[in-house]
Structure 1
Amino acid sequence: MAVIAGVTTVFGLVLTLSPGSDVEAQRISSQLDLDSGELRPALSALAVEAMAAEEQEQATPLFTVEEQQRAARIAAAAPSRANIADQQLVTDNQQQKPPVEEVTAPPEPQLTEKTFEVKAGDTLSRLFSRAGLNDSAMYQVLRGEGLSDQLGRLRQGQQIDFVLNEEGQLQQLTLHQNRTKKLQANLGEEGFKTTEVSREPDIILAFAGGEIESSFALSARRAGLNNRLSSNLASIFGWQIDFGRDLRRGDRFSVLYEELHVDGEKVGYGRILSANFHNRGKNLTAILFTNSEGHSEYFAPDGTSLRKAFIRTPLEYSRISSRFDPQRRHPILNRVRPHQGTDFAAPTGTPVRAAGDGRVRHARRDGGYGRTIRIQHGNGVETVYAHLNGYASGIQEGGRVRQGQVIGYVGMSGMATGPHLHYEYRQHGQPRDPMRVALPDADPVPKEQMTAFQTQSQPLMAQLATRDESFQVAMAEE
């Protein structure tokens, strides 16, 4: 082996080492340094490439830093091919999407409204004619369902509205009965149907008071009470005060009542809620109480009823044509026959009212009495109403009635010489003189409802006292 002095010669020898059979075959490259005799691992091909790349990076760049930064800005600002493709796809889809057609709603039917005021002598047929409609259109409404029979009950001053379509055919008819109620007939698939449409008015509490100078009616009118309110006030205290004979100059009254308003305008009067009457040194107070059954009645502050259990005269009559008389001679039979009741002469059709609460035992013809109603009131009391022209709607045997409820109408059915009501008051089957018999008091507020009564009555009494100084004085005197 020849050795050249001063020169270190390194031969790279590649030795192939074969592993054992239990080790996966692997090729290992090593480098032998001849000077030192050391065996070193040889660099792999990947390492050689990495070293070459590093040397290339350390070489002089092809572009300056400024040029590289400018190129980066241009690349960032330019859209990518993927974005350009997406935008093109959206554009193509928009071009391929069919245009949306606008849906136009069908035009509203053109309706015409004609309004008329009911004048004296007007009929429904005449009003239809004014609206350009014939009797055939009117009969279609009247033959319809609901309350169509009430459309013919016209009063002067009412308003009636006709709503017509383009062909002039009636679609709706409205009869305004007053400011809060109207009858309305609407055309449907099965013809016209008439219903009542009500509008609830606003209720405002009002006060009125006055002093008797010459008559109660005149004093009530001066205080602002209309005929209905003054009549109701007299009815409330009618059991304790005879308004024809007991009133004196200087007597005072005060009333807390309801006013009905629609759109800020007064359209009527409601109920009397509380009232006070100072008569001949005696002070009377009435409070309206509605019990658990929904029945309203006037009571004194202690809960006692202000009315009797029975009305002495169950109708507004012209005169008493025949009184209770066990020895009376019958005007038709011309023989002595006891007259077991009182006859009140009145025009045919005058309303007859139940004298007290009770149950209808008899409502049909009864021999010479003609059309007759008999009412059982409890405690052995029965009242009889004879010679009626007819019965009120809803009156039937077994049904309940309230005191003052209309049950029939004056007539002259049976053995009668003229229109009148024959009225009897019987106690345990025995006839009593209706004009002289002692009438029992009505029931007071039940004990179990006294708390509810006080809850309702105290605010009403407080409001009455606040507005009426004379009431405060009377309460202080008591």
Structure 2
Amino acid sequence: MGEGKQIARAARKQAIRRKAQRRHSRFYERCAHWSFSHHDGEPICWHRERWVLAGTALLITALSGFILPAWASAMRPEATAPAHDLLPLALPKAPAATMQAPTVEDWRVVQVQPGQTLSDIFQGQGLSLADLQRVMDAAGGAASALHNIRPHQEFDFLLGNDGGLRGFRFDKDQASRATVRFDGAKPTLVVQAREMERREHVAHGTIDSSLFAAGAKAGMSAAMVGKLADLFKYDIDFVQDLREGDSFTVVYDDVYRDGSYLAEGDIIAAEFVNQGRRYTAYRFRKADGSYGWFSEDGRPIQKSFLRIPVDFTRISSTFSVARLHPILGRMRAHKGVDYAAPTGTPIHAAGDGVIKFKGWMNGYGNFVVIQHNGTISTAYGHMSRFASERVGQHVSQGQVIGYVGMTGLATGPHLHYEFRVNGVQRDPQTVTLPKPEPLPAAQLARFKAEVVQPQLARLKALDANIKLARLGSTARNDD
């Protein structure tokens, strides 16, 4: 069976070969003798044509090995050698073997603790009072800054390997630093100016519970809220008059030294709305170079008289023509206002004037009377003790004249305060206080042009933005 298949396969090959020979008979006639095969068992013989084919193949192979690499190299762009210029350079001299890198001085920073004195601080650094005296002598006029030191104030000490004082640094004032050195033939003093910067802020608040809570919510420090209250204390009683919904807008600045926060700055402009009534204050530099705060009409915010001359907790008794006396037990006129406050709370002069009386006065206890002008005087009773002022001495508004107590007929510590016109007591809470005089005409014009107009526009723009924000919030809540 297998032999039959092989015979059939050979027959097909012979048929295909005969067909190809018939179709390409001319080629076979001309080139059949070029074959490398042998016929009829004859050995291979190299004829002329075979030698030609072999030689041509070898020649083509050799030429390919030489021509192609040469052609590829010829097609590459010629590389241009970079040009080099030789320049003579002056080399720096090698540092002498004796030269050393500058050393970093190890200044020791000491912060003042409550109750400490400058001598305590020096002794705490292992220094003597003689060292402190050397500093005071070398500092000269700058030493005045060392006479009254405050808690948290900082002093820098530079000590030698033996513990001796080599240098001392302190703030001459807010904008300059003084350095005293003892590492030379004689002491030296250098005063350097420090970079001062004021950064402005704008705050707005609405009273919900208290002024301080609203100020904190607006991002103001307690000290700045205190300045705001102090600014408007002549017109607003922040204990009795404040109402929920009252609002304020403040432009103020903070002080930065050498890029770091230093202290609260000043209020530049402020607006306070109390029970629907609007009060304003603008900071302005007067002709004499001093600063003051003025309302929009150019009148000083600081009135001729303080409405309340003491920081109090509550009004324990109001002005009345008939009141049951808590000690005497009978009806009696109470011709002043009693402000309850802890014993020792400072009492301030309500206005500029001269001390007319100072001493014991029946039921008033320790008593002071100040005459302010030809018609107006103020009286202060139940003091625990007096300040150092004497009868006939001039006092300024806000100056401490005594301290809260309960001397005389009193059931608890408080200030009894009277406001008298031509010797007749008036209710301090309702009496019309005289208005201060406005700025002179030339300063008033400059004040309105340089301060009021730009700051008022700023406050109005801020109020408008706040109202828009509230409307947007209301609309979102309605949705």
TM-score normalised by length of structure 2: 0.56
CA drift at 1:256: 1.4
The aligned counterpart of 1:359 is 353
Residue from 235, 253, 256 that aligns with 1:261:
256
Q: Distance in 2 between matches of 1:126 and 1:470?
A: 54
The aligned counterpart of 2:111 is 117
Q: In the alignment, is residue 247 of structure 1 matched against residue 246 of structure 2?
A: no
Residue from 378, 384, 391 that aligns with 2:387:
391
CA drift at 1:382: 0.9
Indicate the RMSD between aligned Cα atoms, in angstroms.
5.1
Compared CA separation, residues 204 and 165, structure 1 to 2 (3 A): same
Q: In the alignment, is residue 428 of structure 1 matched against residue 422 of structure 2?
A: yes
Q: Distance in 1 between matches of 2:317 and 2:276?
A: 37
8 Å Cα contact 1:276-1:471 kept in structure 2 = no
Q: In the alignment, is residue 127 of structure 1 matched against residue 121 of structure 2?
A: yes
5 Å matches for 1:21-100? none
The aligned counterpart of 1:441 is 435
Residue from 197, 202, 206 that aligns with 2:201:
206
CA drift at 1:226: 1.2
Q: In the alignment, is residue 401 of structure 1 matched against residue 396 of structure 2?
A: yes
Compared CA separation, residues 268 and 236, structure 1 to 2 (3 A): same
Q: Distance in 2 between matches of 1:309 and 1:396?
A: 21
The aligned counterpart of 1:453 is 447
CA drift at 1:428: 1.0
Compared CA separation, residues 373 and 127, structure 1 to 2 (3 A): same
The aligned counterpart of 2:287 is 292
CA drift at 1:121: 7.5
Q: Distance in 1 between matches of 2:448 and 2:394?
A: 32
The aligned counterpart of 2:222 is 227
8 Å Cα contact 1:164-1:171 kept in structure 2 = yes
Residue from 410, 413, 416 that aligns with 2:403:
410
CA drift at 1:132: 1.5
Q: Percent identity?
A: 32
Once the two structures are superposed, residues 106-142 of structure 1 have per-residue CA deviations (whole angstroms, 9 ceiling, x without a partner) of xxxxx98543334578665653343112466568879
Compared CA separation, residues 321 and 247, structure 1 to 2 (3 A): closer
8 Å Cα contact 2:321-2:333 kept in structure 1 = yes
8 Å Cα contact 1:346-1:420 kept in structure 2 = yes
CA drift at 1:437: 3.1
Give 1:287's aligned amino acid.
Y
Mark the runs of 5 or more structure 1 residues left unpaired by the alignment. 1-110, 474-478
Compared CA separation, residues 137 and 272, structure 1 to 2 (3 A): same
Q: In the alignment, is residue 276 of structure 1 matched against residue 271 of structure 2?
A: yes
Q: Distance in 2 between matches of 1:177 and 1:330?
A: 56
CA drift at 1:395: 8.3
Q: Distance in 1 between matches of 2:176 and 2:369?
A: 36
Q: Tell which deviates more after alignment, 427-436 or 123-132.
A: 123-132
3-state secondary structure, aligned to 1:426? strand
3-state secondary structure, aligned to 1:247? coil
Mark the runs of 5 or more structure 2 residues left unpaired by the alignment. 1-104, 469-479
The aligned counterpart of 2:296 is 301
CA drift at 1:275: 1.9
Q: Distance in 1 between matches of 2:215 and 2:372?
A: 35
Give 2:427's aligned amino acid.
D
* More helix per residue: 2
CA drift at 1:316: 0.5
Compared CA separation, residues 119 and 396, structure 1 to 2 (3 A): same
Give 2:438's aligned amino acid.
P
Give 1:410's aligned amino acid.
Y
Q: Distance in 2 between matches of 1:288 and 1:149?
A: 28
8 Å Cα contact 1:390-1:411 kept in structure 2 = no
Compared CA separation, residues 153 and 319, structure 1 to 2 (3 A): farther
Q: Tell which deviates more after alignment, 260-269 or 111-120.
A: 111-120
Compared CA separation, residues 238 and 133, structure 1 to 2 (3 A): closer
3-state secondary structure, aligned to 2:306? coil
Give 1:206's aligned amino acid.
H
CA drift at 1:381: 0.5
Once the two structures are superposed, residues 420-443 of structure 1 have per-residue CA deviations (whole angstroms, 9 ceiling, x without a partner) of 434322111223333443433333
8 Å Cα contact 2:233-2:307 kept in structure 1 = no
Q: Distance in 1 between matches of 2:380 and 2:135?
A: 39
Compared CA separation, residues 396 and 153, structure 1 to 2 (3 A): farther
TM-score normalised by length of structure 1: 0.56
Q: In the alignment, is residue 313 of structure 1 matched against residue 308 of structure 2?
A: yes
8 Å Cα contact 1:347-1:410 kept in structure 2 = no
3-state secondary structure, aligned to 2:372? strand
